[in-house]
Every structure is written in structure tokens, then in C-alpha cells.
Structure 1
Amino acid sequence: MRMEPARTEDGSDTSSYKFMGMKKEMTMMSDKEIVLVIAFLGLILFKAPMFAEGRAFREPGQAEYTFTYSATSCRAHSASLTEYGGVGDGVTSNTKAFQDAVNDLSKYADDGGVQLFVPAGKWLTGSFSLTSHFTLFLDQDAVLLASQDLNEWPVLKPLPSYGRGRDAAAGRYQSLIFGSNLTDVVVTGNNGTIDGQGASWWQKFHGGKLKYTRPYLVEFMYSDGIQISNLTLLNSPSWNVHPVYSSNILVQGITILAPVKSPNTDGINPDSCKNVRIEDCYIVSGDDCVAVKSGWDEYGIQFGMPTEQVVIRRLTCVSPYSATIALGSEMSGGIRDLRAEDILAINTESGVRIKTAVGRGAYVKDIYVRRMTMHTMKWAFKMDGDYKSHPDTHYDPNALPEIANINFRDMVGENVSIAARFDGIPGDTFSGICIANVTLSMAAKSKKYPWTCTDIEGMTSGVRPAPCDALPDQGPEKIGSCNFPAESLPIDEVVFQQCSYRMSYS
């Protein structure tokens, strides 16, 4: 089949919509029932046509139909994977077909760009790399199945800001969809699926049988202008979405699902990136739903690339053993200017967690979180100054992190076991912590002391239960403290186009 563009016209960002608060009485439900209900609601929310940017229409008896979607760039040329020998039977390897298609279509990069369409079917594939000015579009019934053949996964050197692989000291397997030094790339679809078939990888990890670090599902390095939207990601071998050393990143309308006990299946991990927007995503995972990173100990300090100017909004998270939003623990390039709002956390270990340690250096500062709703949590807030994971024994014991200007406001939580545990570093006080207008209803079997605070300083206003002495209540007149920045970030100024294509069958 061959696709040709029907029309391209400028349009507004259709992905933005008013956050829908899911207010439902759950106090009589078990945790398992809560997770199932929220999973069901979340799938409806992010699969519903009013929120899906991709559309496909085909009239009965016709041999063609059109589909539309919002993107930062529309393309002048397009083709289908089947034109390059792709076979969607779930058995035939399509690694060569994908790479041949990308390599051939790259000739259009400077001529209006190109789109590769993946039609309905089950497309078994190993890792493949994209090119600039390129769109990968998955039909709603298209499923990319990650190959179980290790020969279809190239091995890369460790990331320079980490110094080694996370699972093993040697290199790392290239991610399923990969790209480096690219500009203007869109990975999207009509809620098509990428299935990492991670069970075999998880078994190797638990058995200590990995020579290299497990692959991620989608990763872009040293790239600018990346959009990842309207897809369902299943059972990743490890992290799901990992932009690293990149800028101007949009992650929208993504559903991420993995067993809650699967190892290190983080949802979205911006890593040494600038201008990142994560919104309208639903994540059930075995690790942090969003983990913001920037390198590990002396390697991250030397590389020196922070993650900054990050927007996270309208996120729903279920992760009983990890955080909704984690900052670190690898933060040795620095993390600053993060704004998160309209967040729903269900049966998640912690709402917001900062993880750092002696040897990390750098900073986590200028963090703003508001309008977060939490149900069934171990901790609402957590800060760890003694997170002991290190790449090696060569870290500098004098490299102390700066944790400063951390702001939480307008939050509610119910069935919370511990309000907060804040452990700073002796001689390196975490400062400028501001918490206002936060009400936490404690679980029936909650801890006797809801707050634990060491080596921190800050203030609170209108916080219940009453916080620790290190965070004195400044009275109702300070309820407006912990202000969220009024100015927008550059990533919010991105202009979307409405792309429309006509598909014809040969």
C-alpha cells in the first residue's frame, strides 16, 4: 500500500484539556479493587477519542481511508512498512524491514520529511534506529513485538554520565526504538502498541545472568525536537521512555503498563535534558512513574549536563513500590526548574521523592508541585540523603548535593501511612522546603509519628497533620506561600499542526 498526504494545515494543540478530577468514594474498597478501578478509568481516559490525537476513517467498500493526528511537523512523503518487506504475523522478524525503510526514506529528510506507517498486525522486531525529520506512525491495531533474539539487539557503550551500565558494568543493549544526533522526530499513532515482552529480561536480571544492561523501549540521545505520543507501551525490559542529552521533548497521551513487581520498569525518565513536557499520561509500573535524572556521581559531575525546565501535568500513577515523581537518585549533573501539577497517585509508595547521597554533588532546586491527589500511600513526601547506590568506590566524599527551594502546595491525601520522611545530610542541610495547604488523612494503622525530619529547614502553612519542628507552621496568613511560577516555559509555546493522510491499498 502507498500513502500520500491529503492536506497539511496549521492547528492548535489539541492535546490540552481541562484536568478531570476523578472524585470517587473508595474508602470501602480494597487496594486491589482501587487499582483495578483506576486502571479501568485510566485506560478509558487515555483511549477515548476525545483525547486521542490519531484518527482513522474508512468507508465500507472503499479501498482507502484517511487518518489525522496532531504533530509538531507534518511530512511531505510517506510509505508503509509492507513496501519494505514487513510481515505482520508475529513470527517473522521485521528488524531488517524497519531499518531498510528508515535508511531508504532518509533521502526525504531535506525534502519535507517522511512518515513510515505501520499497519495493523503483529510486527516482531529487534532494535532499529530512526533518522531526522521522520515520523513513525502505528495504526491502532499495530503491535510492535520486541524480539527475544539477543542477536537483534546491538550493544552500545555505557552512557558517559553514568560510567557503567546499570545492570552490569559493561555496555548496554540498544533500545527498541532508538536515535542519536537527530532533529525533528515524531513517534506516534492511533494508540498503537509497543510490547517489550520483558518477562525473559526480568528473569535474566533476577538470575544475575545479564552481561549488559537491559534495553529500553524508546530512547533518543543528543537530539532536539522529539515528540512521543498516543501509544501504549507494555512490559518493557527496563525503562520505557528515556530521552537523554536532548532538548525540546514532548511526551503526551502515553499509556504505560507493566507488572507492579517488574524490576526497574520506570515510566518516563528525562535524563540530562532541557525543555521537557510530559502530560496526559497513565502509568502502572514496577518502579518510578516519572524519574528525573542527570548522571551518576563523578561521571555525572564531569559530564555536567543538568535536567531543567520540565513540565509534568495530568499524570495518573499506580506503583505500589516506588514514587509517582522521583528526582534522582542519579542527579549529579543537577536538576532544576521542574513544575508538576494535577497529579493523581493511587496505591503508590510515595508522591514526590528526592533521592541523593554523599558523592552525588550538584543540586535539586526550584521544584514546584501543586494540585496532587494521593490515595493509599506509604509516604506522601520523602527525601533521602543517604541513597547508597553508587557506580563504583571512586566517588568524592566531599561532593555534597544542594537540595533547595522545594515547594509543595494544594494537595490532599487519604489512607496515608506516613506523612513525610525527610532525611538530609549532616553538615549539608536540605533548605527552603515550603509546604502549604496540604491535608493528609492518615491510615488506620499509620505510624505514631507521621513526620520524621533530620537536617532540613523550611516552613509550612495549613498542613495537617501538624509537621515536624523543623517545618514550623507560619499561620494562615502564609497559606499562599510556595508559589507556583506564573510564567510559562518555552516548551509550552510549541505550535502543533494537524496532519492528515490518505491511505490507499494496491
Structure 2
Amino acid sequence: MRSIWVILVVLGVATLRGAECRKARRLEETLEYYAISCRAHSASITDFGGVGDGKTSNTKAFREAISQLSQYESDGGSQLFVPPGQWLTGSFNLTSHFTLYLHKDAVLLASQEISEWAVIEPLPSYGHGRDAAGGRYISLIFGTNLTDVVVTGDNGTIDGQGALWWQQFHRKKLKYTRPYLFEIMHSDNIQISNLTFLNSPNIIIQGITILAPVTSPNTDGINPDSCTNTRIEDTYIVSGDDCIAVKSGWDEYGISYGMPTKQLTIKRLTCISPYSAAIALGSEMSGGIEDVRAEDITAINTESGVRIKTGVGRGGFVKDIYVKGMTLHTMKWVFWMTGNYGSHADTHYDPNALPVIQGINYRDIIADNVSMAARLEGISGDPFTGICISNATIGLAKKAKKVPWTCTDVEGVTSGVVPQPCGSLPDQGPEKVGMCAFPTENLSIDNVEIKRCSYRMI
């Protein structure tokens, strides 16, 4: 299996240039954008019979367009342009060496006909659906075993119209797990940028602006799951669940699959999620999570800043986590770690599979209107170790808990932390306020070169 190598970054606004040819009486417009790859061949969805009236199904048009453009995989690649309009569509698959570009006034609307959503097997590292025991509906935009894929635009919109699925979920009428809005598996060289994602049934994409009602069930913003070398930058997320949830498989299935998420960077994230975390690690982390670097994080009205979720039977590890520069406004907990997250895929998990949580580093944090500074709960006989917190000022709310810190089965150190942490995280003195390492060397994802590409519309 190939790991996912993906770049998630707002790379600047595309530019539009126009020139009128009087003899032909046509307007030529050139869209310029930035991407990891430019393409030799281009087409518009209208070339394949697409109709952007918000009513006509374009499922066949998208599938035929991508099928025909796939012939150019080894001949400079191809790009499919989606012009202004509302483009109703069911699920379609991407191809390699391919760019999907949405005009700023283009909206992809997910079909409300459940019959247009095929049922596929559960993720191999989960072995089980999240909403139901069986399979899952395929994602709106899907790809597997791909390389060199760009999905971008001038802030075009992909609207999952998720209310249908949320209602079915609440009424317990789903036979299969809800579809994601965007999903790419076992692929490399992926870029998602300059798009807005709305009202997903759920989201396993990496990127950009993601908006869903805060009451929508289990709508994680971004799920890097068993990914290597991933960069998430300049994202704005409003969600009913964790804004970014880092995962790597569930119980015995994740342990067997054995593909950790590692070398993940998160920069300049803004998150609103009253019932969940800005960044969560787990709870499905049985394949392991390591070398996660998060900085310049802003969270507003969010349940917690960074949360680690695991439990007995998970196995795996969460280690070498680095967080620097968080600004937090109104939340229950700044730091939350729990070893009591008990949901399991089935009854076949190994009760002796204990997770390893170690090397967790937080520094340079300012928070206000907080109910409780930290809730840190390791596992009896399997403590969370190597916790380091420095230079953190936490302003408590008027009705804050009387005890700002609770700590059980955790070990670590602190420096320059207000209010004073619990005894299992002893203060090392003001001279150590700069401790809690943050790596200075670049990951390979940081050295990716971006090109200026164009598309000429006539």
C-alpha cells in the first residue's frame, strides 16, 4: 500500500485575464493558479453535456469526462474545468495526473438520490462502519491508488447537502455508514487548495474552508488517516466534531493494517467546534501517530484545544507531538488526554493491547474564558509519559471549576504555566520556560515546489 503524500494549502487567489477577439467575437479568459503540476490537456464539463442549472444530474458527465481525460495520464496529464453554475452530481472517481478546477462561481451539489451513492467495503484499517456494522456509501469525490492529483479553484464550492444524511442518521435509518465528501486512499502527490466545502455528510479530505452546522453529527473537518508527509495550512473550519482528527485505524484492524500517520504539519488553523477539539489525536490510532507538528492555532468556542483519545484495546502509539503558538478563546479544557475512550469496532479486540502515549510537547499558549485548564487521564499501569508544557497562560472563566487541573497516571514537566499544574507535572523553574522542543528541521513536504498553471476559456 502506498502512503498518502498530500499538500493542503491556500496557495493564493487565482487570477482572471480577458481579451476580446473582435473578428471571432469571442472572449478569451485565462485562469492562472498555483499547483504541484500543470497539465498539457484541458476540457470543460460542458464539453461532456454538463448542465449547471442545479437540477440536471451531471453524474454521467463527470464520469465520462474523467474517463476520457484519463487517456492523457502519460501524456502531460489533464485538467477538467467546472465553469460558473450549480452542478448537481452523484459520486465520481478521480484519475492520476489530473486537475479538477472549480471557477469561483461554480458549486458542486451532492445528489440527494441515495441510489446514486454506491456501497463499498469499510476502510481496511477499521473493518467496520462507523454508523452501521456493514459497508459505507462511497464518497462524493473519490480516488484510490492515484498519483499527482490537484483539486483546486478560485474558492469554488463543494456542497455535500448533508441534511439528508444527518436526518437519516438521527432517525437510525442508515443501513450503511454515511459518505464522506472527499476521500483519497493509497495515493501520493495530492494537493487540495482554494476551495470551500459545505455541509458534508462527513469529511475525510485534507483542507481549506470547511463549514458545517455545529449540531451536525460526527462531522470532522479533516481526517488525515494513515498518512505520511501531509501539510495542512491556512484552513478555516466550523464543525460539529473535531476540526482536525488525526487517525490510523481501529483496534485489531488498525494494528494489523499497521500504517501510522506521521510527518504531519498543521499551520494557521482557525477552528470553531463547541462540542469537540481543534486538533484530536485518535481515538482510532491503533496503527500509530507520530511526528505531528502544529503551530499558529486559533480556536474559538471549542471544547478543547488539543485532545488525545485512546483506550485499552487500542494498542498503537501517539508519540513525538509538538504544538507551538495556540490562541484559545472560550473552552472547557485547554489540554485533554484520556485513556478511557472505550468504543470498539467489535468484541474481538485484544484487551491486552495497551497504547503508548509519550513525548507530548506544548508551548507558547494563551487562553481565556476557560472552564478548566487540563483534564489528563492516563491508563492505570500504562501511564502517559514525557508530557512537557511551557509558557502557557490560561485565564479561567468566572464560573470555572474550583480545581483547574486533574491528573491521573501521567508523568511530565512544566515551566511558566499559569494556573499552577498538578503535582505529577512539576515546575522546572523560570529558566526552563523555553523548554518543550519544537523541531527546526524541515520535512520533505515543506520543500515541495509549486508551479504557476493556467487554463484558457473561450
TM more than 0.5: yes
What is the 5 A alignment of 1:306-321? 306-321=260-275
Matched, 1:459 2:419: no
Equivalent pairs, count? 448
What is the 5 A alignment of 1:378-397? 378-397=332-351
The aligned counterpart of 1:399 is 353
The aligned counterpart of 2:67 is 103
Decide whether the 8 Å contact of 2:412 with 2:424 is kept in 1: yes
Indicate the percent of aligned positions where both proteins have the same amino acid.
70
Decide whether the 8 Å contact of 2:240 with 2:273 is kept in 1: yes
Letter of the structure 1 residue corresponding to residue 447 of structure 2: E
What is the 5 A alignment of 1:297-376? 297-376=251-330
Matched, 1:137 2:137: no
2:203 to 217, 239, 262: 239
The aligned counterpart of 1:278 is 232
Decide whether the 8 Å contact of 1:436 with 1:461 is kept in 2: yes
Matched, 1:157 2:121: yes
Cα distance, 1:56 vs structure 2: 2.2
5+ long unaligned stretches in structure 1: 1-14, 17-45, 242-250
Letter of the structure 2 residue corresponding to residue 375 of structure 1: H
The aligned counterpart of 1:180 is 144
The aligned counterpart of 2:395 is 441
Cα distance, 1:240 vs structure 2: 4.8
Deviation by residue 1:119-168 (Cα, 9 ceiling, x = unmatched): 00000000000100000000000000000111111111011110111111
What is the 5 A alignment of 1:14-163? 52-58=12-18, 63-163=27-127
Deviation by residue 1:56-82 (Cα, 9 ceiling, x = unmatched): 233578511111111000000000000
Structure 1 residue matching 2:445: 3-state secondary structure = helix
5+ long unaligned stretches in structure 2: 1-7
**In 1: Cα distance, 2:32 partner to 2:291 partner:** 34
The aligned counterpart of 2:5 is none
Structure 2 residue matching 1:82: 3-state secondary structure = helix
Structure 2 residue matching 1:107: 3-state secondary structure = helix
Letter of the structure 1 residue corresponding to residue 154 of structure 2: N
Letter of the structure 2 residue corresponding to residue 373 of structure 1: T
Letter of the structure 2 residue corresponding to residue 58 of structure 1: G
**In 1: Cα distance, 2:373 partner to 2:230 partner:** 29
The aligned counterpart of 1:19 is none
Deviation by residue 1:212-254 (Cα, 9 ceiling, x = unmatched): 110111100111111011000000011251xxxxxxxxx55x1
Decide whether the 8 Å contact of 1:56 with 1:190 is kept in 2: no
Cα distance, 1:501 vs structure 2: 2.2
**In 2: Cα distance, 1:240 partner to 1:92 partner:** 27
What is the TM-score of this pair, normalised by structure 1? 0.87
Decide whether the 8 Å contact of 2:204 with 2:224 is kept in 1: no
Cα distance, 1:435 vs structure 2: 0.1
Matched, 1:230 2:230: no
The aligned counterpart of 2:3 is none
Structure 1 residue matching 2:164: 3-state secondary structure = helix
Cα distance, 1:264 vs structure 2: 1.1
The aligned counterpart of 2:379 is 425
- Stretch of structure 1 that moved more, 154-163 or 331-340: 154-163
Cα RMSD between the aligned structures? 1.4
**In 2: Cα distance, 1:159 partner to 1:112 partner:** 32
Structure 2 residue matching 1:348: 3-state secondary structure = coil
The aligned counterpart of 1:292 is 246
Decide whether the 8 Å contact of 1:69 with 1:500 is kept in 2: yes
Letter of the structure 1 residue corresponding to residue 74 of structure 2: D
Decide whether the 8 Å contact of 2:12 with 2:34 is kept in 1: no
Letter of the structure 2 residue corresponding to residue 74 of structure 1: C
Cα distance, 1:368 vs structure 2: 0.1
Decide whether the 8 Å contact of 1:297 with 1:390 is kept in 2: yes
Decide whether the 8 Å contact of 1:70 with 1:497 is kept in 2: yes
Cα distance, 1:392 vs structure 2: 0.8
**In 2: Cα distance, 1:354 partner to 1:95 partner:** 40
**In 2: Cα distance, 1:152 partner to 1:229 partner:** 26
Deviation by residue 1:361-402 (Cα, 9 ceiling, x = unmatched): 010000000000000011101001000111111111100000
**In 2: Cα distance, 1:130 partner to 1:501 partner:** 19
Decide whether the 8 Å contact of 2:369 with 2:397 is kept in 1: yes
